[in-house]
Amino acid sequence: MSLKDKQVTFLKNFALLIIWANENGYEVTAGELFRTDEQHAINIKKGLTKAVRSKHQDRLAGDLNLFIKGVYQTSREPYKPLAVKWKSLHPDNVAGYDWGWDANHFEMK
């Protein structure tokens, strides 16, 4: 699969996740989607990431801000249903929830 084809599949599934969330009583707002190489270099310099390269730089990752009953969720556990749904959409989908520290992150490997 070409990078472009993966990007198309990722974005379609990201849209399906957002629609699923809305249909199941969650509210989500957009977090980071595409990250430039320049921004990633700044993030490394500031110690915000240790990843040499992020899937955000390849347009294969997106972050969502989750709200339940209007309250922004800052802990990991509320994101679990979204992680489960995300992984059901494609065998290459990876949920940051499973890493234990990046629950609002959804990517395709």
Q: Is 59 in the site for Zn ion (CB under 5 A)?
A: no
Q: How far is the CB of 8 from Zn ion (least distance, A)?
A: 19
Q: How far is the CB of 23 from Zn ion (least distance, A)?
A: 23
> In the set 63, 64, 93, 95, which binds Zn ion (CB under 5 A)?
63
When the beta carbons of 70 and 72 are compared against Zn ion, the nearer one is: 72
**Would strands 27-30 and 71-72 be described as parallel, antiparallel, or unpaired?**
unpaired
Q: Is 105 in the site for Zn ion (CB under 5 A)?
A: yes
Which residues make up the interface to Zn ion (CB under 5 A)?
63, 105
